[in-house]
Amino acid sequence: MVEPDQPSTARMIDFWLGGTHHHPVDVAAARAFEQAYGPCAPVFRALRAFLGRAVRAIAATGVDGFLVFGAGVPTMGNVHEVAPDATVLYTDVDPVTIRLGQRILAGSDRAGYGFGDATDIGTVDPALLHRFVPGWGRRPVGVVFLGLAAFLDDDTLARTLDELYTAVAPGSHLAIDFDTEELAAYPQALAMMGPAFRMRPPAAFGPLLGRWQPTRDGIVPVTRWRPEGRPEEVPDAFHGAVAVRSVG
Ligand SMILES: C[S@@+](CC[C@H](N)C(=O)[O-])C[C@H]1O[C@@H](n2cnc3c(N)ncnc32)[C@H](O)[C@@H]1O
């Protein structure tokens, strides 16, 4: 691959997770962010572990097709790796990330990668959707919406989640996380996230889900969502939930 001249959040996360799909420009940006915030690897490990528990819980309900928005790099405990019997369509808006994902998944008959703007389900290639998430709209599926809510304003996020609710079949599940206001204590780090970055108080999370009904686990710090063993000690910077489109 040509050496990229701009860092990408997706590849910085790969670096923090100990993956192999990042470049010196990403490592430099990750280190600069850590100078302003502190160690990030434990935080991203906790987030990826939440993805794993949430996806396995969804698969345990019988769901065997997942649509992933804002997917980033499809490795390091990502959806098709933690749900080995499922088919998975990863999507993102960043063309460089999409090409990287397509290279990583080339040859997989179970997971694919394509363009998808989370705010407009119509941007997902229908052929890819029907190949990797068979029965979309007719059978229960899993929608993975992680690392994304902070990049959408309240109105856009609420509308997007409502449109997804309408699009999926009853019994479908949504895995989602939200950023708390924890980063506000680190103004330099916050500035690096750009002006469109949105933190929210926990009381704001539930109403944004609209008709999606969180499981009895609620919307909680990600380390406390059905923890397995001793949770990693990380700041409560992210809350997560699995929510359901009710049957009937
Ligand atoms: C913080 S990364 C999260 C990556 C991965 N989901 C994770 O949790 O580790 C956010 C990703 O969302 C993508 N993104 C930003 N806006 C988007 C949108 N409107 N629709 C889909 N993806 C988007 C970015 O390109 C980036 O890859």
Q: What's this model's pTM, rounded to 2 decimal places?
A: 0.98
Mean pLDDT (whole number) for 84-94:
98
Which ligand 1 atom minimizes the distance to the CA of 97? Answer: 27
Residue 23 has pLDDT above 90, yes or no: yes
Coil, helix or strand for 144? strand
Alpha carbon distances (Å) from 117 to 21, 26, 38? 22, 23, 31
Ligand 1 center to 186 CA (angstroms): 22
DSSP letters spanning 167-199:
HSPTT-EEEEEEE-SGGGG-HHHHHHT-TT---
pLDDT of 98 reads 98
Ligand 1 center to 72 CA (angstroms): 6
pLDDT of 1 reads 65
Q: Which domains does the chain have, with CATH numbers?
A: 9-244 (3.40.50.150)
Q: Which among 145, 139, 180, 179 has a CA at the least distance from the CA of 54?
A: 145
Q: Which amino acid is at 67?
A: L
Angle, alpha carbons 196-224-70 (nearest 5°): 35
Residue 230 has pLDDT above 90, yes or no: no
pLDDT digits (tens, 9 = 90+) for 107-154: 999 999 999 999 999 999 999 999 999 999 999 999 999 999 999 999
**Lowest-pLDDT range of 108-122, 153-167, 229-243:** 229-243
Cα–Cα distance between 83 and 129 in angstroms, integer? 18
pLDDT of 24 reads 97
Ligand 1 contacts CB of residue 163 (under 6 A):
no
Ligand 1 contacts CB of residue 118 (under 6 A):
yes
Helices H / strands E in the chain, number of each: 9, 8
Tell me the average pLDDT of the chain. Answer: 97
Mean pLDDT (whole number) for 163-171:
98
Residue 222 has pLDDT above 70, yes or no: yes
Q: What is the DSSP letter of 2?
A: P
Cβ proximity of 47 and 222 under 8 Å: yes
Residue nearest to atom 22 of ligand 1 (CA): 70
Residue 248 has pLDDT above 70, yes or no: no
pLDDT digits (tens, 9 = 90+) for 46-77: 999 999 999 999 999 999 999 999 999 999 99
Ligand 1 contacts CB of residue 94 (under 6 A):
yes
Residue 2 has pLDDT above 80, yes or no: no
pLDDT of 247 reads 83
Residue 232 has pLDDT above 90, yes or no: no
Cβ proximity of 117 and 93 under 8 Å: yes
Ligand 1 contacts CB of residue 238 (under 6 A):
no
Ligand 1 contacts CB of residue 72 (under 6 A):
yes
Ligand 1 contacts CB of residue 140 (under 6 A):
no
Which ligand 1 atom minimizes the distance to the CA of 48? Answer: 9
Ligand 1 contacts CB of residue 70 (under 6 A):
yes
Which ligand 1 atom minimizes the distance to the CA of 71? Answer: 6
DSSP letters spanning 87-138:
EEEEEES-HHHHHHHHHHHTT-SSEEEEE--TT-GGGS-HHHHHHHSTTTTT
Alpha carbon distances (Å) from 139 to 40, 51, 134, 197? 38, 22, 8, 34
